[in-house]
Structure 1
């Protein structure tokens, strides 16, 4: 413990490699794709040891992304920060965009993240002009209400799944408050977005019926707000000049998909990390919740990649990247770069200089960053205030809320003398 607060070392720290420096492919032990490139998986992008070895081997690596396409991974802070703001890099992949013909067809979720520049810019403007700091600030009381409502429903002395009872439903409830989705319609939203929560590094595909049901519900909700607006984000976007119902629907779906997973992972992994260190949770300083959340964002890094595509040949850290190639910033590696962060594997809630890239940077930075910060601060502060003795319960396993779901058993308020 320091005079400024707790610092615990060696978060996921691996021993440095011994002997002569190895080829990055050999040191990673990665499978090779038919083109002779190492295949980088989702699991590798979330493994601090793998990311450290990639960063030590260089700032730029030519790889195959999950067996789907070749690309370039950036692993150092300076290279990533420059690339993310470089106008020569664009947001969408260089491929023909699929046409959607049938009335029941819905754009694939991954397509929403790689829209053509003009469509992407139009949706971002629609969202950013209405998702203002003032709107987020006005939502603070309702965010607190949702946090308390969920925690009130949990039996404090029993073993519960923190993910199912809080980390997953909390950001979804906040998004529904933001969008103005009434309680009667939230079942459609939950059925849909829960299917896109990453489980063990993989996303569980949402069913077609759940996707269409939610889309039909949102279309009806948007139609009502078009003529009878309220004080919610859907109404604000619907009343904007030049807005179309199709664009509002795409913007809402983009927010739903992109807006809940990072917060769920931040709360899950962040709270687990805080509870795993004896004394850290009990001595969490409510006055330092903002810097604590920023350090959690750096260490947990809930989003693995921030991606761009090359408009014209570009040189990054001495490597020429050809036109059309994908450039993927490995944010978990970038946020632990020792060239930018002192003691990068240490968790320091009092870290004075913390320019992490957890929300990306540049024209595709996270639109909901301000909202995510308020959610995380509210959640951490509320949990610490209400349940200072909260602990992990690895010895007990609550029943998962759905098959294959990741679980995090906790006891919010263990009694001093638990019953046998």
Structure 2
């Protein structure tokens, strides 16, 4: 008989800050555990590497799309449709199931082809180096500065902005809106606070991208927004105007926050391990392996949620039709069945394939772009500032959705 667990410890302040002891206890119980839906809302928690991969690939487990939300609210769709943030999310490729998911993903995926990402590398290097120049100016004479505000946030914002065609002067406007919008699904008793902020952000982001789409229709450029408009107008992409705007918001956020927190996490992991920091500085060709281990060891997006379209099971744990499962990506990446000494940060571990960008039909569209920008940013940062030091206590995010830092005080000279 499966041991039933409760998620109270995971959702506590201590659990949000450091969920890994809880994950270790889950791993002792197998790859999935039943939950009491009356207490935790979910029918099961899925945390083993093999189990998480299976759920992410299994078409029985579906995204929480608009049809499911209508069903969960007893057909009273207005209960969630009155929230601008949820309405916007439900129009994005990230929360759709086939056939709508397939219809929208195809044109969006073309923007993130291997050829297009490779062609972006010179622009990425230019954008990273420009932010390094700014760090040097701000940190002259040993002045203390916030690494997150002046590097970890601006670099990914510049990169996704460059790809999509967001004007340079507007990119600093996004962080204050992107994160609140992305947190509307943060679990826990204070979710209503995130909904209020997320709704406001959704209205502002929708107005911004609707205006930018109108500009690109009038004067196309060589960017993603113009390419999608052209595909829409030619019939190559079956996407409505509201869907287009919603997915531009979704793409900007998806291509932004994972990289932000991976850059911050990577810096802290390396600053605490001087030998590995020196190795990456001297051997930037190892950057890809280092980035995979950063993504595994401190997974930036910790979980996902799926619902079962029919009665099914996960590793022997029954899930009823309509039941939701909490899928812990961060736990899967610390599964001792898959990774030897999972709580050790080891960039040289063999066969390192974390599930940080999901897997299957909803594999992250921007995974290759995110990996590339982190691979470029961290070695260039360490070579440019060999004396870079953490200059105070970093402030971590008090969140389940994202794992990273709100602020990292540093000196660079």
> What's the counterpart of residue 401 of structure 2?
none
> Take 1:327 and 1:101, find their aligned partners in 2: how far apart are those partners?
20
Q: Shift of the alpha carbon at 1:62?
A: 2.7
SS, match of residue 70 in structure 1: coil
Deviation at 1:233, TM superposition (A): 0.9
Which stretches in structure 1 are left out of the alignment for 5+ residues? 1-21, 32-37, 398-404, 414-420
**Aligned residues of 2:43 and 2:319 also touching (Cα < 8 A):** no
1:238/1:244 contact within 8 Å kept: no
1:288 deviates by 0.5
Counterpart in the other structure of 2:288: 290
Give the whole-Å Cα distance in 2 for the aligned partners of 1:237 and 1:339.
43
Q: In the alignment, what sits opposite 2:254?
A: 258
Q: By how many angstroms is 1:379 displaced?
A: 1.0
| Contact residue 385 and residue 412 of structure 2 kept, 8 A | yes
Which residue is 2:116 aligned to?
Answer: 135
Change (3 A) 1:109 1:221: closer
Cα shift readout 1:242-275 (whole Å, capped 9, x = no counterpart): 3432222121011122222211111112211110
Q: C-alpha distance in 2, partners of 1:59/1:197?
A: 28
Matches within 5 A, 1:197-216: 206=197, 210-216=201-207
- Out of 129, 151, 163, the residue aligned to residue 166 of structure 1 is 151
Note the alpha carbon deviations across 1:199-229, whole angstroms, 9 max, x for none. x999966465554333222112112223432
Q: Which residue of the other structure, out of 280, 291, 295, is the alignment partner of 2:276?
A: 280
Distance 2:258 2:368 in 1: 13
326, 329, 337: which is aligned to 1:328? 326
**Does the 8 Å contact 1:147/1:170 carry over to 2?**
yes
Q: Deviation string for 1:346-375 (max 9, x for gaps)?
A: 222122211211111111111110111011
Task: Indicate conservation of the 8 Å contact 1:24/1:57, yes or no.
Answer: no
Is 1:269 matched with 2:257? no
Tell me the residue number matched to 1:121: 102
Q: Does residue 80 of structure 1 match 2:52?
A: yes
Match of 2:374 among 369, 373, 376: 376
Aligned-pair CA distance for 1:137: 1.5
Residue matched to 2:27: 55
**1: distance between equivalents of 2:274 and 2:166?**
40
| Alignment-derived partner of residue 180 in structure 1 | 165
Partner of 2:351 in structure 1?
Answer: 353
Q: Deviations over 1:368-409 (max 9, x none)?
A: 101110111111121122112222112799xxxxxxx93211
Extract unaligned runs of 5+ from structure 2: 72-76, 396-404
Aligned partner of residue 365 in structure 2, secondary structure: coil
Does the CA-based 8 Å contact 2:178-2:201 persist in structure 1?
Answer: no
Count, aligned residues: 376
Higher mean C-alpha deviation, range 284-293 or range 241-250: 241-250
Alignment match, 1:229: 220
